[in-house]
Amino acid sequence: MALTRRDFLRSAGALVGVYTLADAWPQARASMPMAMPARTSAAMLAAPKVALVNPSSLARFVDPLPVPALARASVTRTHPMYPGRTLPCYRMTMRACKVRLHRDLPATPMWGYEGQFPGPTIEARRGEPLLVEWINGLPSKHFLPIDHTIHGAEHDKPEVRTVTHVHGARAPATSDGFPEDWYPPGHSALYHYPNGQDAATLWYHDHAMGITRLNIYAGLFGTYLVRDDDEQGLNLPTGDYDIPLMLCDRLVAQDGQLYYPVSEDPAAPWVMQCNGNLVLCNGKIYPYFEVEPRRYRFRLINTANTRFFDLSLSRDQPLQQIASDQGLLPAPLPRTRIELYPAERADVVIDFAGLAGQSIQLRHQAEGILEFRVREHGGRDTSSLPASLRAVPRIDPAKAVQNRILTLNETDDANGNAMTMLLDGKRWSDPVTEKPRQNSVETWSFVNLTGDAHPIHLHLVRFQIIDRRPFDLFAWNAHRKLVFTGPAIAPESQELGWKDTVRADPGMVTRIAMRFEGEPGRYVWHCHLLEHEDNEMMRPFELLPAHS
């Protein structure tokens, strides 16, 4: 018997505790002005024609946590940008693969860099450039539902296209993975990364115009670490005790296949959100990880399409957050909960020293998603967790040469649903309007006119959050005037480090400041909810050369 849409939504919601956007962003909802209509976006979802795995039927913590292999530079090459030098060159081939997501599930057909999900971890050092040849070795047919009505994914484009972006990298425009720089199977791109930036947890992922959500969902992402001497001098846990933890969710069917949700319109299957029934840690469902009774560093990365993670440890053990998107915070912050919106990162140190012989779980909301099993013994822990990590000098917003006001909007179709999200009311193909000058400081204010929180990401630059401030939506709609309805709210301590993705809450103006360091050229900024990004909530920006 087919599930009704309502049944599907209810069961999917019950299975993981979160399904609708309203549920996914409780605090965003709470901060919404009363008059803002609550959106029932889920109404456009069609019930799946496949039987999904019931998470409560899956054995917990029976698979070891995979730790992605380190990528190896197989060759060295010269590059015209670095005359007289030979650089390490990594060859990363995107391939179809089969992945066992859980001991009791059939293998899942996916796509992975080097045929792995997640892909191998690339390790870079500050100031040491490297090359990556991103090779599209995928089949010519996509296995997820392409919406050909979406800009950039029309019928005249090859079905399978990829272009890789290193999220958080200060890379030149020609190596940044501009969404229109995609290429089909059998082709590749040689990108160069100067790595002229501080140590941080970055990640690489597909960015092809109009199908990024599907390519990432298929498995195309991995970790890219930048290390530097300053961080190394702190003697934080390293080597086997420094582990990337990529968190995402997927809808998995009982036959092991990935299911990607579709709308009720077969000609326009795009949906505005995709929440899974299962949470994956480094590509496994409910894994366990054997640890020694000592300190570890985990690099938490939210690689999900839509889901935000609300992370905590059982036993009320605090997490010591040491870094955010763009590297170290000024000092470790003890956290009982860490919220991560799509594309955000948090590096944490967990000390298992007092827990020998016991187990402790990493939870998303109330559910354990990863179990740490602490061995009785381990080698001596010589790492440290220094009381201060690095200075993060605040950018003075008064230094800004431009203060841009940019809205986050949604538009309804004739039926009042099927919304398209836009940035500043503009579409991808509209003329470029954000043209910062190289090395100048700007502030950008995101005026969120929608009912949901959106994680906004800028390529190329690292920024600081200045504040969030509630405003009068009606005054804005009537006169395009910002009337604040309350005091500015300072960022929380964990938001006082360098960021590249910021949560823009509904009913709020979220203000960031950045210096536009990097090479002139065309980059992008966008919402990192991948369904939004793919359907017009992405805009180019043009970095103009500095005045000489």
Give the interface with ligand C2O as residue ranges (CB under 6 A). 165, 167, 205, 207, 343, 457, 459, 524, 526, 528
Tokens of 206: 């597909």
List of residues 6+ apart from 502 with CB closer than 8 A: 446, 455, 456, 457, 463, 465, 495, 510, 512
Whole-number minimum distance, CB 432 to ligand C2O, in Å? 16
- The closest alpha carbon to 73, from 128, 131, 115, belongs to 131
Alpha-carbon 179 to chain mean position: 16
CB-nearer residue toward Cu ion: 158 or 520: 520
- Of 454, 468, 526, 539, the one binding Cu ion by CB under 5 A: 454
The site partner of 202 among Cu ion, ligand C2O, none (C-beta below 5 to 8 Å per kind) is: none
Q: Does 167 bind Cu ion (CB under 5 A)?
A: yes
Determine the residue type at 379: G
The site partner of 511 among Cu ion, ligand C2O, none (C-beta below 5 to 8 Å per kind) is: none
Nearest residue to the partner ligand C2O, using Cβ: 167
- The closest alpha carbon to 310, from 336, 284, 273, belongs to 336
The site partner of 227 among Cu ion, ligand C2O, none (C-beta below 5 to 8 Å per kind) is: none
Q: For the window 469-508, what string marks contact with Cu ion as x by the rule CB under 5 A?
A: ----------------------------------------
Q: What angle do CA 371, 377, 383 make, to 5 degrees?
A: 85
Residue at token pair 């795009």: 270
CB-nearer residue toward ligand C2O: 168 or 368: 168
CB-nearer residue toward ligand C2O: 167 or 390: 167
Q: Does 459 bind Cu ion (CB under 5 A)?
A: yes
CB-nearer residue toward ligand C2O: 173 or 350: 173
Q: Does 532 bind Cu ion (CB under 5 A)?
A: yes
Q: Does the N-terminal peptide bond of residue 118 adopt cis geometry, omega within 30 degrees of 0?
A: yes
The site partner of 102 among Cu ion, ligand C2O, none (C-beta below 5 to 8 Å per kind) is: none
Whole-number minimum distance, CB 351 to Cu ion, in Å? 32
Residue 539 CA to residue 433 CA, distance in Å, equals: 9
Whole-number minimum distance, CB 29 to ligand C2O, in Å? 25
The site partner of 343 among Cu ion, ligand C2O, none (C-beta below 5 to 8 Å per kind) is: ligand C2O
CB-nearer residue toward Cu ion: 161 or 532: 532
Residue 292 CA to residue 378 CA, distance in Å, equals: 5
Residue 94 CA to residue 137 CA, distance in Å, equals: 5
18-39 in b/e burial notation, b at 16+ Cβ within 10 A? bbbbbebbeebbebbeeeeeeb
Whole-number minimum distance, CB 207 to ligand C2O, in Å? 6
CB-nearer residue toward ligand C2O: 167 or 250: 167
The site partner of 15 among Cu ion, ligand C2O, none (C-beta below 5 to 8 Å per kind) is: none
Element (H, E) at 339: strand 338-340
Whole-number minimum distance, CB 85 to ligand C2O, in Å? 29
Residue 437 CA to residue 105 CA, distance in Å, equals: 52
Whole-number minimum distance, CB 25 to Cu ion, in Å? 11
Nearest residue to the partner Cu ion, using Cβ: 527
Query: What is the dihedral angle through the alpha carbons of 254, 210, 116, 74, rounded to the nearest 10 degrees?
Result: 170
Whole-number minimum distance, CB 455 to ligand C2O, in Å? 10
Contact in structure between 423 and 529 (CB atoms under 8 Å)? no
Residue 318 CA to residue 315 CA, distance in Å, equals: 9
The site partner of 207 among Cu ion, ligand C2O, none (C-beta below 5 to 8 Å per kind) is: ligand C2O
Binding piece for Cu ion, criterion CB under 5 A, among 55-63, 152-160, 268-276, 528-536: 528-536
Whole-number minimum distance, CB 177 to ligand C2O, in Å? 8
Whole-number minimum distance, CB 282 to Cu ion, in Å? 21
Contact in structure between 385 and 236 (CB atoms under 8 Å)? yes
**Neighbour count for residue 127 (Cβ, 10 Å):** 12
Q: Does 307 bind Cu ion (CB under 5 A)?
A: no
Residue 1 CA to residue 51 CA, distance in Å, equals: 11
Helical H runs in 136-189? none
Residue at token pair 């392409």: 146
CB-nearer residue toward ligand C2O: 65 or 524: 524
Binding piece for Cu ion, criterion CB under 5 A, among 33-41, 197-205, 505-513, 524-532: 524-532
CB-nearer residue toward ligand C2O: 179 or 332: 179
- Of 460, 496, 527, 543, the one binding Cu ion by CB under 5 A: 527
CB-nearer residue toward Cu ion: 227 or 459: 459
The site partner of 529 among ligand C2O, Cu ion, none (C-beta below 5 to 8 Å per kind) is: Cu ion
- The closest alpha carbon to 164, from 130, 140, 193, 189, belongs to 189
Determine the residue type at 129: P
Determine the residue type at 200: A
CB-nearer residue toward ligand C2O: 213 or 511: 213
The site partner of 503 among ligand C2O, Cu ion, none (C-beta below 5 to 8 Å per kind) is: none
Q: Does 272 bind Cu ion (CB under 5 A)?
A: no
Residue 116 CA to residue 98 CA, distance in Å, equals: 9
**Which residues contact Cu ion by CB under 5 A?**
167, 454, 459, 527, 529, 532
